[in-house]
Amino acid sequence: MSSQTWQCLPERLLEPVMDGVILLHEAAELWDLFLLNPGEWFYPPQHLLPMLDRLELWQMRAEMTRH
């Protein structure tokens, strides 16, 4: 089953996809997890951890360059 949620990704996930930091299917899978666990803490699957590391570094760098 493929996800269709990529069509309605929030800006906080779409922007790093457009910048080439994370892949579309990674963002869609993470967004699926958020939608399936609303307001709950969840542990992301092991295969998404490298993507989350890249996303965190991208966010830190983006915050440092904003004035």
pTM as predicted: 0.78
pLDDT tens-place string over residues 17-67: 999 999 999 999 999 999 999 999 999 999 999 999 999 999 988 766 655
Per-residue confidence band for 5, with pLDDT thresholds at 50, 70 and 90: low
SS (HEC) of the chain: CCCCHHHHCCHHHHHHHHCCCCCHHHHHHHHHHHHHCCCCCCCCCHHHHHHHHHHHHHHHHHHHHCC
Q: Domain spans of the chain?
A: 5-65
